[in-house]
Structure 1
Amino acid sequence: MKKIVLTTLAVATFALADAPATYNTCKACHGAKGEINTTTQSKSHVPANLTKADVEKALHGYKDGTYGGPMKAIMKGQVMKLSDADIKALAEYIGK
């Protein structure tokens, strides 16, 4: 049991450690802290205002083509290279 807990913690720590590096790709459009929505310039649907669950849902939706507006194609291209673990780590990193 102890090995399972330690392994889980190690994996979670590694995933979270990679999130800032992964988010570097997002900064150009969403800002350093996820404060920008490039399509509307509003504060309503910016990454920094979304819950962790909403970030994860949006990223998975972009990846499978079920989510998105005008930037859907661009976002799909960005998230296709992300694993489920990457998406979860990004959600933990930028979501509320």
Structure 2
Amino acid sequence: MKKLAILGLIAAGAISLMAADGAALYKKCAGCHGVKGEKKALGKSAPIGGWEKDKLVEALKGYKAGTRNVYGMGSLMKGQVASYSDSDIEAVSEYISKFK
């Protein structure tokens, strides 16, 4: 029984270590969007800092799917989020939504 409890704790720890880190994921966004999402990316987009999480998730999933092209940024953004999993999108969206 102790072995099962220990294995359970190890598995839980491994899962939490593998969880997406919104702050780390956002680092590649900050160059265009600013440290707190305060910039118009490439002088075109609206600042994203403080957007609701659901709005961010919808936008990022649209860019990833190639169905969103706001301000002509569809192709560029598709490349930026192509490698993001759904959990990555959730994590980075949660992180950005906290900017004020």
Normalised by the shorter chain, which TM-score bucket? 0.7 to 0.9
Q: TM-score, normalised by structure 1?
A: 0.75
Identity of paired residues, percent? 42
Aligned to 2:69: 68
Aligned length in residues: 85
Structure 1: gaps spanning 5 or more residues: none
Per-residue deviation, 1:81: 0.6
* 1:27 aligns with one of 18, 26, 30: 30
CA RMSD of aligned residues (A): 2.3
Alpha-carbon displacement from aligned partner over 1:38-96 (angstroms, at most 9, x marks no partner): 25557xx3211411000000000000011122111100000001000000001111115
- Corresponding residue SS for 1:25: helix
Partner of 2:54: 53
Structure whose residues are more often helix by fraction: 2
TM-score normalised per structure 2: 0.72
Structure 2, gaps ≥5 residues long: 1-7
